[in-house]
Amino acid sequence: MQLQDILYSQGFGTRRVCAGLIQQGFVAVYESPDAASPTVWTESARDIRPQGLRFRVQGVDWAYFEKAYLMLHKPAGTECSQKPSTYPSIYTLLPSPLRLRPQKSAVQGVQAVGRLDQDTTGLLLLSDDGQFIHRMSSPKKHLPKVYEVTVKHPLDAKQVQRLLDGVVLDDDPKPVRAAACEMVGPHSQCLHLRMTLTEGKYHQVKRMVAAVGNRVEGLHRSRIGGLELPTDLAPGQWRWLRAEDLDQLQNKAV
């Protein structure tokens, strides 16, 4: 595979732009897995195997990924939209190549797997793999998602039991149940709740809590499937998903 085509596939611009970066000496390649430093390449049509490739573009190191799978610690005050209405887009937190990775459809770059409200924080997945996005977001897959909920008024055991039993939302006559629900804290009444859901209805956690006479004051997603949000990933930071992370996503244990 030609080096200019590799850069194009990774979102560094059109093939002409990528060829220009190479010819101007802005691209260096780690020519072996154990190479301590990269070598500048100036031939855009030079062939190289993309698998396992590491390279440097304008001083920044990158690794080749045929498909992009990311996790982001979404901060409050951001929207999961390419065209936000009020708050900054989560996509501004990502480097340009991830936003420009080419796709066959009209959509470009990585896309969020589902959405979190602007005031909700926590684990968000992004990818340019349409099948992965569908698999992770489809309600038929019943993938559990864990939320840490702070409520306005102290919860009691009866309210928690109502959430477990299921509450009726205003636009759905069928009761919506929390797959798992527990109060966080040592008291019988508590302002914090850990809730696990296997569906993804609009504002579901907030509407379920409202249905039992309370109000959500803070909402944070801490886990998807078996994948926990890493404690060392600060709000606004992102990282590539490793093979073990992808395996953990498939773990549906609640």
What is the domain-level CATH number for residue 193? 3.30.70.1560
What pLDDT, on the 0 to 100 scale, is given for residue 155?
Answer: 87
95 and 153, same domain (yes or no): no
What pLDDT, on the 0 to 100 scale, is given for residue 188?
Answer: 64
101 and 162, same domain (yes or no): no
**φ, ψ at 2 (rounded to 5°):** -70, 145
Determine, yes or no, domain membership for 254.
no
CATH number at residue 245: 3.30.70.580
What pLDDT, on the 0 to 100 scale, is given for residue 104?
Answer: 79
Q: What pTM did the predictor assign? A: 0.91
Q: In terms of residue numbers, what domain contains 20?
A: 3-63
204 and 236, same domain (yes or no): no
Per-residue pLDDT reduced to its tens digit, 111-157: 999 999 999 999 999 999 999 999 998 877 788 999 999 999 998 88
Task: Give the confidence band of 253 by pLDDT, cuts at 50, 70, 90.
Answer: low
**Residues in contact with 126: Cβ distance below 8 Å, sequence separation at least 6, in sequence order:** 68, 69, 70, 71, 72, 94, 98, 110, 111, 112, 113, 238
166 and 148, same domain (yes or no): yes
What pLDDT, on the 0 to 100 scale, is given for residue 215?
Answer: 95
Per-residue pLDDT reduced to its tens digit, 197-232: 888 778 889 998 999 999 999 999 999 999 999 999
Looking at the annotation, which residues are catalytic?
117
